[in-house]
């Protein structure tokens, strides 16, 4: 596609429920990133995928968070047993490659509200 | 670990004022440096970048120079417009090793007419 597509754009859930967020990167982009942006704060790195290499999961805040990506296509970020502190905008980005100064193109984000 | 520090916001200026948003970084090696901008209601987008020392990135009247000696990448614009109101993020990316983009906390800029 022309840009990075994320869905849903908004999700309201109850504490304790599981949620899945989806990211469709730009076609041909081998690197895919997930970030979290809490209200009024900066972007917090969660995880990135580069081709068939093992993902860098160093930013995942707890074992309730996981992400998958099949090949160089769609990725899903799953949050299990959601907590109120998980409320944030979850941003996905893709780039041609992870290395060097390749520019990340961001999606519009998925806003998650945990009641 | 790698980190980026930006000047505290919010910043409020009048139209046509001179803008500086300070950014300093800590990183191993020689990272690439970026400024991203988030306009109200829109997604994050690249404003400019610089990949080596003394490089100057520029776009839309904004400039930033990669200063290795002061580990800085300050954003400047000579005459701001109301349409420049946005949140600005400084970021770095290593050339080797961990390939994630590390962001500063963002600076909210409001330009009054």
pLDDT for the residue numbered A1: 54
Q: How far off is chain A from B50, nearest CA to CA, in Å?
A: 8
pLDDT at A112 > cutoff 70: yes
User: Does the CB of B93 have a partner CB in chain A at under 8 Å?
Assistant: yes
Across A28-32, B61-65, B92-96, which has the greatest mean pLDDT? Answer: B61-65
Residue in this structure with the two tokens 């999700």, named with its chain if needed: A11
Q: How far off is chain A from B22, nearest CA to CA, in Å?
A: 15
Contact indicator for B93, B26 with CB cutoff of 8 Å: no
pLDDT at B43 > cutoff 90: no
**Binary contact (B89, A98; C-beta < 8 A):** no
pLDDT at A2 > cutoff 80: no
Contact indicator for A76, A22 with CB cutoff of 8 Å: yes
Return the percentage of chain A with pLDDT > 70, whole number.
Answer: 97
pLDDT, tens digit (0-9, with 9 covering 90-100), for A18-41: 999 999 999 989 899 999 999 878
Q: Rounded to the nearest 10 degrees, how much is the dihedral formed by the CA atoms of B1, A37, B98, B91? A: -70
b/e burial code for range B36-47 (CB count within 10 A of at least 16 → b): bbbeeeebbebb
């Amino acid at each position: 596609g022309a840009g990075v597509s994320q869905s849903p754009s908004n999700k309201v859930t109850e504490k304790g429920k599981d949620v899945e967020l989806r990211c469709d990167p730009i076609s041909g982009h081998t690197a895919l990133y997930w970030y979290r942006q809490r209200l009024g704060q900066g972007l917090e790195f969660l995880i990135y995928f580069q081709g068939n290499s093992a993902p860098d999961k160093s930013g995942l805040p707890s074992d309730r968070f996981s992400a998958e990506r099949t090949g160089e296509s769609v990725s899903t970020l799953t949050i299990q047993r959601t907590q109120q502190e998980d409320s944030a905008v979850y941003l996905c980005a893709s780039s041609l490659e992870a290395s060097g100064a390749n520019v990340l193109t961001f999606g519009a984000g998925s806003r998650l509200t945990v009641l | 670990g790698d980190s980026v520090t930006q000047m505290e916001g919010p910043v409020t200026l009048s139209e046509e004022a001179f803008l500086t948003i300070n950014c300093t970084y800590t990183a191993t090696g020689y990272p690439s440096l970026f400024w991203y901008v988030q306009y109200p209601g829109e997604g994050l987008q690249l404003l400019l970048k610089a990949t080596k020392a003394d490089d100057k990135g520029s776009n839309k009247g904004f400039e930033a120079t990669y200063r290795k000696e002061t580990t800085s990448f300050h954003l400047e614009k000579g005459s701001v417009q109301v349409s420049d109101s946005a949140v600005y993020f400084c970021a770095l990316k290593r050339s080797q090793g961990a390939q994630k983009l590390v962001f500063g906390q963002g600076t909210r800029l409001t330009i009054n007419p």
